[in-house]
């Protein structure tokens, strides 16, 4: 072997090694790039899933309020009822109802007693509907309490409007949840 042939053999061997190194480096760069792209895709997927979950929860968000429907005519007759409604876009599961009259708390089953204290007389005839442990669909209304006697309804409507409605001496606190278990509290009179 001549020195020149040794040079060519070593040179070709060197070139093969360099080609292998370049191929190895290229493979490593491609592998690392694929891992980085995969990790970024995983992060984007997780963030997108969380955003979709929040949007899904908001798409069934209930909004429960209470209000008094009352009115009276010139003939001393009227109507008086306390209603609970869901103005949200999802069902509400009513967990607990607390009545507050001038700072004193009452249970939801004591609405008749509270209204008798407001009207300062026994309510002779009324329709009552259970509110607690009830599912209230969107735009549904529960007629929580209605005075049937038109004369008593007139008195209740007049007294409530003058002494309680405008002065915030009476309140109903409603604790409710959505279908995902998120809990809400509604307080304060809604005037419709």
CA-nearest of 123, 122, 99 to 111 is: 99
Contacts of 144 (CB under 8 A, 6+ apart): 66, 81, 82, 83, 84, 111, 128, 129, 131
Question: Ramachandran region of residue 184, left (φ > 0), alpha (ψ -120 to 50) or beta?
Answer: beta
Q: Kindly list the distances between the CA atom of residue 82 and the CA atoms of 23, 25, 75, in Å, as whole numbers in the listed order.
A: 80, 77, 22
Q: What is the pLDDT of residue 175?
A: 95
Q: Which residues of the chain have pLDDT under 50?
A: 4, 7, 191-192
What fold characterizes domain 64-186?
Immunoglobulin-like (2.60.40)
Domain residue limits, the chain? 1-58, 64-186
What stretch of H or E contains 95?
A: strand 92-101
Q: What is the pLDDT of residue 4?
A: 47
Q: What is the pLDDT of residue 64?
A: 93
> Can you give the pTM of this predicted structure?
0.68
Q: What is the pLDDT of residue 161?
A: 76
């Amino acid at each position: 072997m001549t020195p020149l042939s040794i040079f060519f053999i070593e040179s070709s061997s060197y070139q093969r090694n360099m080609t292998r190194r370049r191929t190895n480096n290229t493979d490593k760069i491609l592998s690392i790039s694929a891992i980085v792209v995969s990790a970024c895709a995983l992060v984007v997927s997780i963030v997108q899933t969380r955003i979709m979950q929040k949007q899904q929860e908001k798409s069934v968000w209930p909004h429960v309020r209470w209000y008094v429907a009352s009115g009276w005519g010139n003939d001393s007759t009227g109507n008086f009822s306390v209603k609970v409604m869901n103005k949200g876009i999802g069902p509400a599961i009513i967990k607990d109802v607390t009545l507050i009259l001038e700072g004193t708390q009452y249970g939801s089953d004591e609405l008749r007693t509270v209204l008798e204290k407001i009207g300062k007389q026994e309510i002779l005839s009324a329709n009552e509907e259970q509110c607690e442990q009830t599912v209230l669909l969107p735009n549904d209304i529960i007629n929580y309490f209605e005075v049937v006697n038109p004369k008593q309804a007139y008195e209740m409507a007049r007294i409530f409007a003058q002494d309680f409605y405008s002065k915030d001496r009476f309140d109903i606190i409603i604790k409710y949840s959505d279908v995902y278990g998120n809990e809400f509290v509604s307080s304060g009179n809604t005037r419709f």
